[in-house]
Amino acid sequence: MENKHVLDVTDIPRVALDAMNDVHKDELAIVNNVNAAIISRDVDKISLLCKEWLAHTNAHFDKEKYMMEKYDFPAFHCHQNEHIEALELLEKTLAAWTQQNNLDELAIYVQKTWPEWYINHISTMDVMTSAFIKQCMDNE
C-alpha cells in the first residue's frame, strides 16, 4: 500500500513549547489528509481540506506572532517574514488549485515544497523562538 503521508510526526523537530508541538502535529495531519485526497484524486475533498489548511495556518501564524510580540522576541521580523512568505505561497498555490484543479501542481507543493519548508522553518525559527518564549514564561 502506498504511503499517503508527506511526513510522519516523528519527522518534525520538537520545540520547547508543547502548544507549538501540538499545532505542528495538527497541521501535519491536515497536510497528510490533503495528500491522501490527492492520491485518491478526490477533488471535492482536496478543496475542503485546503480551506481547513489555510485557516489552520493563519491561526497558527497569528498565535506565534502574538507570542513573539508579547515576549519581544529579538528575531521577530525575520521569523514573521518567513510566515508572510510561506502564507503568500500557500495562498497562491491554493488559489491556483481552485482555478485550475491541477493535481500535479498541487502535489508538487504538498509533497515537496511544503515539507521542505516546514522542517526547515521548525528546525530554525521555531526552535529558537520557542526556547526564548519558554525562558521568558519560566521567568514570569
The answer to whether residue 40 sits within a structural domain is yes
Grid cell 517574514 in the structure block, residue: 81
At 1 the pLDDT is 38
What is the domain-level CATH number for residue 106? 1.20.120.50
Q: What is the mean pLDDT of residues 98-104?
A: 95
Share of the chain above pLDDT 90, in %: 97
At 2 the pLDDT is 57
At 21 the pLDDT is 98
If we measure between CA atoms, which residue out of 23, 45, 44, 25 comes closest to residue 33? 45
The answer to whether residue 83 sits within a structural domain is yes
Grid cell 519548508 in the structure block, residue: 117
d(CA 70, CA 66): 6
Domain count, the chain: 1
The answer to whether residue 2 sits within a structural domain is no
Q: Which domain holds residue 80?
A: 16-61+75-138
pTM to 2 decimals?
0.94
pLDDT at 16 over 70: yes
The pLDDT-based confidence of 101 (bands split at 50, 70, 90) is very high
The answer to whether residue 7 sits within a structural domain is no
The answer to whether residue 51 sits within a structural domain is yes
The answer to whether residue 33 sits within a structural domain is yes
Instruction: Specify whether the CB–CB gap between 132 and 73 falls below 8 A.
Output: yes
Helix (H, G, I), strand (E, B) or coil at 94: helix
How many other CB atoms are found less than 10 A from the CB of residue 9? 13
Q: Please provide the average confidence, as pLDDT, over all residues in the chain.
A: 96
Q: What is the mean pLDDT of residues 11-29?
A: 97
How many other CB atoms are found less than 10 A from the CB of residue 132? 18
